[in-house]
Structure 1
Amino acid sequence: MKIDIGITEEDRGKIADGLSRLLADTYTLYLKTHNFHWNVKGPMFQTLHVMFETHYTELALAVDDIAERIRTLGFPAPGTYKQFVELSSIKEDEGVPEARDMIRLLVEGQEACVRTARSIFPICDATNDEPTADLLTQRMQVHEKNAWMLRSLLEG
C-alpha cells in the first residue's frame, strides 16, 4: 500500500539512508560499549563497569527506535554486521584497550553518533519531518550527555 504522509518517497528514502547510518553507528557503539563493559579493569573498574552497562542498555533500546522509524518511512532497516560495517563511521578496535583508552574511544563513538544524527537534519527540515527530527534531537541529547560524562572521567 502506498505511503501518503506528506513526504515524497524520494525524500523518505534520503531520510531512511541517514537513519540507516545512525542505526549502524548506534549498533557499533553498543557492541563497543558492551565489549568494554565485559573487559574493563583497573582502579575505575566498578565505576566504568556500571556506567558502560547503563550506556549499552540505553543503546540497545535506541537501535529499535531508529529501525522502527526507518520502517515507518517505508524502507527496510539494515540488520547485519556486514551492513553495519559498511554504514558506520565508528570503527572496531583491536584487542582490549586500557580503561582510559576505552573512555576516550567511547567519547569518540558518542560524538560520532551526534555528528551522524546532525547530518540528517537538513533533509528533515526541508521535508517537515518532525517525528524524525524529534528522534534525532533525543539521540543527540543522550550522546552529548554521555560524551560529557565520559570526558569528565579523563579530566583532573
Structure 2
Amino acid sequence: MSDAAEVLKPKTHAEKMNIGLSEADRKEISAGLSEILVDTYRLLIKTHIYHWNVVGPLFHSIHVLTEEQYNTLFEATDIIAERVRALGHHAPILSGKGVDTSIELRASGRSALEMVQDLVDDHEEAVRKMREIGTKADEKGDLVTADMLTDRLTFHEKALWMLRAIIAD
C-alpha cells in the first residue's frame, strides 16, 4: 500500500493518546456524548418541524423562539461531535446501531401548546442526561467535557424557562 493510501485509510479503532484520561474513561464519556449528540439532533429536527408547522395566536412568538433554538441546537451538534473526536473516538453515524435514532414527528394535528409541551419534555430529558454525563466527566477529571456540558445545560435550562412561560396558566 502506498504511503498516501495508508494515510487516507480510515481508522477503525480509538486513537491512542495520553491526555490524563484512561481509554476506558474516554470511551465511557464519548459514549455518553454520542447519546447526547443523537438526542440533540432529534430535538433539533423536532424544533425545526414545529417551527414550520405551528399555527394559532402564538404563531409568531413560537416561530421566532424555535428558530433561535434550532440554530443553537445545530451549532451544538458540531461542538459535541468535535468533543467526541477530541477524546479519540468517532462521532456516531446515525445508523441506529446501539443508539435509538428514531424521531417521533407528529406536528400535524398538534396545537401550539402541545408542541411547546413536547419540546419542554425533550429539553428536560436532555438536561437530565447532560447533568449525568457532565457529573461523570467531572468525577473522572474531564474538565473540558464538564465545562462544555455546563454551557449546554445553560442553553437548555433557559430554553425551558422560555417554553414554560408560553404554556403557563
TM-score by length of 2: 0.85
The reply to whether residue 71 of structure 1 matches residue 85 of structure 2 is yes
Cα contact 1:78–1:84 (8 A) shared by 2:
no
Which of 90, 102, 105 aligns to 2:118? It is: 105
Task: Output the CA distance in 2 between the equivalents of 1:35 and 1:81.
Answer: 21
1:21 aligns with 35
Could you list the runs of 4 or more consecutive aligned residues of structure 1 that deviate by over 4 angstroms after TM superposition?
none
Cα contact 1:24–1:84 (8 A) shared by 2:
no
Give the count of matched residue pairs: 154
Structure 1 residue 28 displacement after superposition = 0.3
What percent identity do the matched residue pairs reach? 44
Alignment of 1:56-67 (within 5 A): 56-67=70-81
Q: Which runs of 5+ in 2 are unaligned?
A: 1-14
Task: Output the CA distance in 2 between the equivalents of 1:94 and 1:64.
Answer: 26
The structure with the largest alpha-carbon Rg is 2
Which of 142, 151, 154 aligns to 2:155? It is: 142
Q: Let me know the Cα RMSD of the aligned residues.
A: 1.8
Task: Output the CA distance in 1 between the equivalents of 2:75 and 2:88.
Answer: 21
Structure whose residues are more often helix by fraction: 1
The reply to whether residue 94 of structure 1 matches residue 88 of structure 2 is no
Structure 1 residue 92 displacement after superposition = 1.5
Which of 24, 41, 49 aligns to 2:55? It is: 41
| Range with bigger deviation, 112-121 or 61-70 | 112-121
Task: Output the CA distance in 2 between the equivalents of 1:66 and 1:36.
Answer: 23
Structure 1 residue 119 displacement after superposition = 1.2
Q: Secondary structure at the match of 1:2?
A: coil
Alignment of 1:108-119 (within 5 A): 108-119=121-132
2:137 aligns with 124
Cα contact 2:123–2:156 (8 A) shared by 1:
yes
Task: Give 2:120's aligned amino acid.
Answer: V
For CA contacts below 8 A with separation 6 or more, give which structure has more relative contact order.
1
Deviations, residues 62-114 of structure 1 (Å, cap 9, x unaligned): 000000000000111113253596168xx513342210000000011111111
Change over 3 Å in CA distance of 1:71–1:51 after alignment to 2: same
